[in-house]
Structure 1
Amino acid sequence: MVERNVVLERRRSPLQRLAKELESGGSTDVALREIPFLAQIGLRVEPGSPSAVALEWTLTGALPAGVGDVTELSGNRHVLWSGPDEFLLIAPDESDGGTDPAQITDELSTALGGLPGQVVDLSANRTTLELRGTRAQDVLDKSCRLDLDPNVFPAGSALVTLLGTVNVILWRVEPDTWRIMPRASFATHTARWLLDGMREFA
């Protein structure tokens, strides 16, 4: 049996081959990097239901209450609002102090028991890009139709939107730090799209 740490060492992220390109494409005003292998667990429950209460008890925190909300939990975990009965749990990579996504999924599924709801490991579905710097919003403004003004889209908010023509989760972690989560198959396109938008600030 191959040890778990060996398996983790052999993983390859969707943007691993672009690591140098991402690093060289940044400047003091804006930088782009991949944060690979975050645990991403999809949750489907009706808010306020016994199912939601069961998940919240296990998560030791509340599910987001409305559009764009993000709940911060212990252990650098967050839950993003995705729809009226749909949420996405984001947790650190297992090799960075996080828990195996399969274990998280099992724990939450066990918490539901026979109650209505769904818990699905979506960790391989998307990767995460971090865009940060004083010009980060300017880069996003070029290809995102959302109003990204901090008064409308403050830090601690996340929405599903289009970046160019690609469906992404856009999460404003801090005033000048964004996480952009495209599906893995669109990761290269999204990264190069952002790099192109960063060129005028290089």
Structure 2
Amino acid sequence: MSSEIQQQSPLVGLQAGEGRPLQHRAAGRVLLNEQPLVGLANLRLDPGSDAVRDALRAGLGLELPLAPNTVSRGRDAMALWLGPDEWLLRALPDGPVDLAARVESALAGHWFAVTDQTSGYSVVQLHGPGTRDVLNAGCPLDLHPGVLKRGQCAQSHFFKASVLLRPLDEQGDGWELIVRRSFADATVRLLMDAMQ
């Protein structure tokens, strides 16, 4: 008997086959893709500390965004602004899953708090000309690309599930949603219903 623990997507019940990430297309207008097991970490620190920001820049090649609802991209990860002293770090494709450990190493000796969130959230992306219509079925934000642009992010909800939204392109046809694991299945089912 093996005692090895394997992480599994909360969307495993919706996946097309063993080990294949969820992908759902509706009438050629919207494609939903699961981004399985993306490295995520919640980071809290004093943004006024030059030493902490320098250490993070040296260790991860990442400059924290200080303006509300903005995103910055570094060498291996991006940082999404959540509050004046809080960010969600998201690994880039093929980036490290162990973001929390990388931050701990980079910021050793400084005051900060980092928590691994990799298994606590699901990441899905939607692409296509009908994407904003799908999101607007359950999200109250104005998602027009003139209002919420690439390089920004916003915390909101899709129906009753809290989500972190990030536009992926300038036209507003590509979006990423980061949703708590416990709401992921229901949220994706609602997205799929809205795609019909």
Q: Which runs of 5+ in 1 are unaligned?
A: none
SS at match of 2:118: coil
The question of 1:41 aligning with 2:36 is answered no
Matched AA of 1:150: P
Distance 1:99 1:108, change over 3 A: same
Distance 1:23 1:91, change over 3 A: closer
1:132 corresponds to which of 124, 127, 133: 127
Distance 1:24 1:171, change over 3 A: closer
For residues 181 and 92 of structure 1, the distance between their equivalents in structure 2, rounded to whole angstroms, comes to 14
1:60 Cα deviation (Å)?
Answer: 1.3
Answer yes or no: is the 8 Å Cα contact 1:69–1:80 preserved in 2. Answer: yes
Which residue of the partner structure matches residue 181 of structure 1? 178
Name the TM-score, length of structure 1 as normaliser. 0.84
Write out aligned runs for 1:3-42 (5 A).
10-20=6-16, 23-42=23-42
1:113 Cα deviation (Å)?
Answer: 2.2
Answer yes or no: is the 8 Å Cα contact 1:67–1:82 preserved in 2. Answer: yes
Write out aligned runs for 1:84-123 (5 A).
84-92=84-92, 97-101=94-98, 104-123=99-118
**Structure with bigger RCO (C-alpha 8 Å, 6+ apart):** 1
Which residue of the partner structure matches residue 56 of structure 2? 55
1:171 Cα deviation (Å)?
Answer: 1.0
Deviations 1:116-172 (A, max 9, x none): 111211111101111110000111112111111111101222111111111111111
Matched AA of 1:12: Q
Q: Once the two structures are aligned, what percentage of the paired residues are identical?
A: 32
Answer yes or no: is the 8 Å Cα contact 1:67–1:159 preserved in 2. Answer: no
Distance 1:45 1:33, change over 3 A: same
Write out aligned runs for 1:164-179 (5 A).
164-174=159-169, 175-179=172-176
Q: Which runs of 5+ in 2 are unaligned?
A: none
1:25 Cα deviation (Å)?
Answer: 4.8
Name the TM-score, length of structure 2 as normaliser. 0.86
SS at match of 2:165: strand
For the aligned residues, what is the CA RMSD? 2.1
For residues 24 and 80 of structure 2, the distance between their equivalents in structure 1, rounded to whole angstroms, comes to 31
Deviations 1:84-114 (A, max 9, x none): 1001111146xxx33241xx32232133223
Please identify which structure carries the higher helix content: 1
For residues 164 and 52 of structure 1, the distance between their equivalents in structure 2, rounded to whole angstroms, comes to 36
SS at match of 1:41: strand
Deviations 1:1-47 (A, max 9, x none): x8xxx86xx43211122023964552311111211100001110121
For residues 150 and 189 of structure 2, the distance between their equivalents in structure 1, rounded to whole angstroms, comes to 25
